[in-house]
Structure formats: C-alpha cells, structure tokens
Amino acid sequence: NAGVTQTPKFRVLKTGQSMTLLCAQDMNHEYMYWYRQDPGMGLRLIHYSVGEGTTAKGEVPDGYNVSRLKKQNFLLGLESAAPSQTSVYFCASGLTSGGGNEQFFGPGTRLTVL
C-alpha cells in the first residue's frame, strides 16, 4: 500500500505559468482534500471531493481548480500562478466511520512562484 502519493515533490514556476498537482490514493477512500500550509497559518482547505465526479470549494479556493475524474485521483490546477500561491500543498484522503473521520496525508508538494 502506497497510501497517498503526490507528484511532483518540488516545483518552481514563474508568475502566470500553469501547472497541475496530482494526488493518488490506493485506499479506496471516498473523500479527498487539498490543503495549503503556510507559516503561521496552519493548514487551510482549498477544495475537496466527496466522491468521484464531485468537487466543492473549501476555505481558500480562489486561483485553483480541481477535478476528480477517477476515485483514486484528485488533481489541483493553477491556471495562472501568482507569488501568493507559494506554499506547501498537501493532499489527503479519508472516509467516514463511527469513530470520526481520520484523514491520511500525502508527503506534500513544495511550490515556489517567482
């Protein structure tokens, strides 16, 4: 079991460039999430999905788009990168259970926008 994987691990973009971050999970989880982690801000939810073909906005969705064409994959797109999007991006997946929703995190993608 690989768990949650993310590609790429690192990326440097110039302002205005676009890119897609890929998240994959092999745990058959229904729910998937994209967060960004910034110093002093904790983790903030960008977008999430409660199942294949569905997406919804989180706390900080502006400037990002997502797609969940397959249950195991959740893509995060930046159409026109801005320096304010320099951050570490984490993907997570989870499922509900009687014991509450544990989320499993990927290793993160460190993105720098110049």
Q: Is 45 a binder of other proteins (CB under 8 A)?
A: yes
Q: Which stretch binds other proteins (CB under 8 A): 10-18, 19-27, 68-76, 93-101?
A: 93-101
Alpha-carbon gap, residue 37 to 39, rounded angstroms = 7
34 binds other proteins (CB under 8 A): no
Q: Which two tokens stand for residue 28?
A: 């058959």
Handedness of CA 50, 52, 54, 60 (dihedral sign): positive
Residue number with CB closer to other proteins (32 or 81): 32
Told to check if 61 binds other proteins by CB under 8 A, we report no
- Residue 100 exposure: Cα atoms within 13 Å on the Cβ side: 2
**Does residue 1 interact with other proteins by CB under 8 A?**
no
C-alpha 1, offset from chain centre: 20
Residues that bind other proteins (CB under 8 A): 4, 31, 33, 35, 40-45, 48, 50, 56, 58, 90, 92, 94, 96, 99-103, 105-108
